[in-house]
């Protein structure tokens, strides 16, 4: 994705755009919700089977189920999971690509309506990146909301089960996770800063490639090939430095593992994609909701 200066900012907020995409194919979206949630919640079954299994081998608790009924439960869980996954994939591909075509159709239609000079705010190359990356970002974000719903359900059920087993234990398990979520949120703004820097540095690299190859003749005439590539190397080096810290930092605070941290990034990406005015996002608002979904991850 590229950040362009001087491009007009549309007035529709991102969430409204997302909502409209969902309303365009509500049934497919719903199938996806159900499919993903079923698949996710069914992962509780193997965990539960494990617990029953260890209960019965250790003799700590009365064995309520025989070995064979546990095996059957395991297989039943597998079948449910397969069904959920089937529904999820069958729904999300048409949802995403039909939404993309809708957006592309509207964008192209608008461009063809406008008088020539006004139609493209950027070069055709940059415009293509809108048709490709930005359009791709939006429906996948909408679908990703289903992950939040599914994980939330999973966490709620898990929390209830855990609470009924042992409330104190549940709280003890909850505390370090809450700390991790807080750390992730504290790190989010820093990561966002690195990301923006990386995107800017990356934009400099690609637009310099376009500049030097657009000016190939002038560069050759001036015998400046080596010097120009020297400058290119400097830009590459800048990008290396800013891109370097993002993945390890994410790994360190576990943003890549925890949906809450991801929400901020995903929303940010979608907002940049939509060129919406509300590009700033504060992950904290969603923390309460996310704490739940972090629980058993």
Partner 1 sequence: MKNDMLQRYAKFLVQYLRPLKRQVALLALLIFATIGLQLINPQIIRYFIDTALAAGTTGNQTTHLIWAAITFIAAALVLQGISVVATYVGEDIGWRATNHLRNDLALHCLSLDMTFHNNHTPGEMIERIDGDIIDIAVFFAQFILRVLGNVLLLFGVILVLLREDWRISSALAVYTVISLISFYYMRRIAIPFWEANRQAAADLFSFLEEHLSGTEDIRANGAVNYVMRNLFKFSQNRLDREVQGGDKEIWFVGMWFVLYTLGQLVAFSAGYWQFSQGLITVGTVYLIVYYTDRILQPLNEITNQFQNVQKAAAGINRVEALYALQSKIQEEGDATLPNGSLTVGFADVTFGYVAEEPVLRHVSFELPRTQILGVLGRTGSGKTTLTRLLYRLYDPTNGSICLGAGEHVDIRQVKVDELRGRIGMVTQDVQLFRASVRDNLTFFNAEISDERIHPVIDELELREWIDRLPNGLDTELQAEGSSLSAGEAQLLAFTRVFLQDPGLIILDEASSRLDPATERLIERAVGKLLQNRTGIIVAHRLSTVQRADNILILQDGCIQEYGEREQLANDVNSRFYALLQTGLEEVLV
State which of residues 20, 44, 127, 159 lies at the interface with partner 1 (CB under 8 A). 127
The C-alpha atoms of residue 126 and residue 109 are separated, in whole angstroms, by: 18
Residues 19, 61, 171, 252: which binds partner 1 (CB under 8 A)? 252
**Which of these ranges, 21-29, 127-135, 153-161, 261-269, lies near partner 1 under the rule CB under 8 A?**
127-135
Among 124, 168, 175, 280, binds partner 1 (CB under 8 A): 124
Q: Is 72 in the site for partner 1 (CB under 8 A)?
A: no
- Closest approach, Cβ 156 to partner 1, in A, equals 23
Considering the rule CB under 8 A, would residue 73 count as an interface residue with partner 1? no
Interface pattern 212-231 for partner 1 (x via CB under 8 A): xxxxxxxxxxxxxxxxxxxx
What is the three-class DSSP state of 224? Answer: coil
- Tokens (6 digits) for 243: 């891109």
CB proximity list for 17: less than 8 A, separation 6 or greater: 138, 274, 276
Min dist CB 70 to partner 1, Å, is: 7
Distances (CA, A) of 191 to 78, 122, 124, 141: 38, 28, 31, 19
Picking from 71, 77, 50, 53, the residue whose alpha carbon sits closest to that of residue 63 is 53
Find the binding residues for partner 1 in span 138-167 (CB under 8 A): none
Q: Which of residues 92-121 bind partner 1 (CB under 8 A)?
A: 93-94, 97-98, 100-101, 104-105, 108-109, 111-112, 116, 119-120
* Whether the Cβ atoms of residue 274 and residue 138 lie closer than 8 Å to each other: yes
Residue linked to tokens 């919700």: 33
Contact between 236 and partner 1 per CB under 8 A: yes
């Amino acid at each position: 994705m590229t950040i362009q200066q001087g491009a007009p900012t549309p007035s529709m907020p991102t969430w409204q755009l997302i909502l409209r995409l969902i309303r365009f194919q509500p049934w497919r979206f719903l199938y996806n919700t159900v499919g993903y949630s079923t698949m996710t919640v069914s992962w509780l079954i193997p965990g539960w089977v494990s617990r029953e299994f260890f209960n019965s081998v250790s003799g700590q608790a009365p064995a309520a189920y025989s070995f064979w009924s546990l095996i059957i439960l395991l297989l039943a869980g597998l079948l449910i999971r397969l069904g959920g996954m089937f529904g999820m994939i069958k729904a999300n591909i048409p949802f995403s690509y039909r939404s993309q075509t809708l957006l592309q159709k509207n964008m192209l239609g608008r461009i063809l309506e406008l008088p020539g000079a006004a139609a493209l705010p950027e070069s055709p190359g940059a415009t293509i990146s809108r048709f490709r990356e930005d359009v791709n970002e939006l429906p996948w974000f909408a679908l990703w909301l289903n992950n939040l719903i599914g994980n939330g359900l999973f966490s709620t059920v898990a929390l209830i089960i855990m609470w009924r087993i042992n409330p104190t234990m549940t709280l003890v398990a909850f505390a370090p996770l809450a700390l991790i979520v807080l750390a992730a949120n504290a790190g989010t703004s820093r990561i966002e800063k690195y990301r923006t820097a990386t995107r800017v540095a990356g934009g400099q690299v690609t637009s310099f490639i376009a500049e030097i190859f657009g000016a190939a003749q002038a560069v050759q005439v001036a015998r400046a090939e080596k010097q120009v590539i020297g400058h290119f190397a400097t830009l590459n080096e800048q990008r290396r430095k800013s891109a370097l810290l993002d993945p390890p930092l994410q790994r360190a605070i576990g943003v890549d593992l925890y949906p809450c941290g991801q929400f901020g990034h995903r929303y940010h990406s979608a907002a940049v994609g939509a060129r919406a005015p509300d590009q700033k996002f504060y992950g904290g608002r969603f923390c309460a909701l996310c704490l739940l979904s972090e629980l058993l991850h």
